[in-house]
Chains A and B, each alone.
Chain A
Amino acid sequence: MTYIAIFITFIFVNNFILSQFLGLCPFIGVSRNSESAIGMGMAVTFVMGIASIMTWIIYHAILLPLQLQYLQTLSFILLIAALVQFVEMIIQKNSPGLYKALGIFLPLITTNCAVLGIAIMNIGENYSLMESFAAGVAAGIGFTLALILMSNIRERLDLHPVRKVFQGVPIAFISGGLMALAFMAFDKSLITNLLG
């Protein structure tokens, strides 16, 4: 039950882009066409899942016993940077097809606040290891969902006349705002109603 609640929370209720404002840079930057949106979304989901596990282990196995919690930010960002490099190397060696699809997005992920965000959030919410993993994957899926929706909207916008000053980024923000309005329909009461 808790896992279902985590999934609904992070995909819809607390969607990382549309209600938490995490990962806005790729949301605006990589959402011009749906192929790159899917690639970026998959890469982020993948890294977020692994990063959630790794940061949980680091925090509970090293930082907490040694009372070094203040090193949280520093150690998490180093871990994520190393992890992204490592994942990139493994994918490049073992599956060139996947590398071709995700390769160019991987270096961008280190500075994506969604990844560090979910790691810090997991610690704040006191999740267990499996719950952290579920939260990481769910947040990644929510991110992907918003990115794909946005890219489809922007592909359509290209075919419509938009006033010159609104072209590009401004209209993307406004579409994002309208999408966020729609996502407000998902709130906390949704979970209590669904799961009792």
Chain B
Amino acid sequence: MEKNRLSVLTKGIFKENPVFIIMLGLCPTLGVTTQVVNGIGMGLAVIFVLLFSNVFISLLKDFIPSSVRIPAYIVIIAAFVTIVEMLMHAFAPAVYQALGIFLPLIVVNCIILGRAEAFASKNSVLDSALDGIGMGVGFTLSLTLIALIREMFGSGTITLMPMGSFSGVIKIPVLYTYPVRVMTLAAGALLLMGYLKAFFEWYSQRKKA
């Protein structure tokens, strides 16, 4: 049983990674990943919404009639997205500005509705919470990876939260002087996503063989 719980938690990170394997939630994945800090901020917002919506939907699964379940799920998700929006506006205004339209768009992120329908509506509260955290962490890691590559090559920096004397920006010597600008643009994001997906395909095929 313990091992089972662990696999519920970890399957979202590699085996069923929402971005690279299931290919859900692509819009924010490419839209906000021009800077590492935005990728992490988006990931944290999604973890929050995913965790609470999974828990609440799992709690309410016996009370929601199945014919109106999708609208009911959307209302629950939208409520938590609004809470995240307000919290970010208050405590991380810079990230709130940078995420812009993609923050309210978490509502229509297929990962969250997908997990609600496929997992939380059928499983216990604890399992749903673990599933939410696992999927959320998998999403955050994928976003951070894409943002790291795009920012490193596109502008030669790694932007993190400023803390104390650390300004929050790490400069990479050669790339800072000669950045590959296309990586920060829309075209670079789509190209990178294609190559990363191909890499994961190659990796999983090699593992099978």
Using a CB–CB cutoff of 8 Å, the interface residues on chain A facing chain B are 18-25, 28, 70-74, 77-78, 81-82, 110-113, 116-117, 120-121, 124, 164-166, 169-174, 176-178, 180-181, 184
Contact = CB atoms under 8 A, between A and B. Distances in A.
Contact of A113 (B108, B188, B190, B201): B108
A21 B30 CA distance: 7
Contacts, number: 123
A18 to B, nearest CB: 6
Given A23-B27, A111-B113, A165 B190 contact: no
Given A180-B186, A184-B187, A74 B78 contact: yes
Interface string B98-129: 00010011011110010000000000000000
Given A22-B27, A24-B27, A124-B101, A74 B193 contact: no
Contacts of B197: 169-170, 173
Interface in B1-48: 23-24, 26-28, 30-31
A59 to B, nearest CB: 13
Interface string B124-167: 00000000000000000000000000000000000000000000
Interface in B163-194: 182, 185-194
Q: How large is the interface on B (under 10, 10 to 19, 20 to 34, 35 or more residues)?
A: 35 or more
Given A70-B86, A73-B85, A180-B186, A24 B30 contact: yes
A77 to B, nearest CB: 5
Interface of B: 23-24, 26-28, 30-31, 70-71, 74-75, 78-79, 81-82, 85-86, 101, 104-105, 107-110, 113, 182, 185-195, 197-199, 201-202, 205
A166 B79 CA distance: 39
Nearest to A180: B187
A170 B24 CA distance: 14
B190 A180 contact: yes
A177 B194 contact: yes
B170 to A, nearest CB: 26
B57 to A, nearest CB: 16
Contacts of A71: 82
A22 B81 CA distance: 18
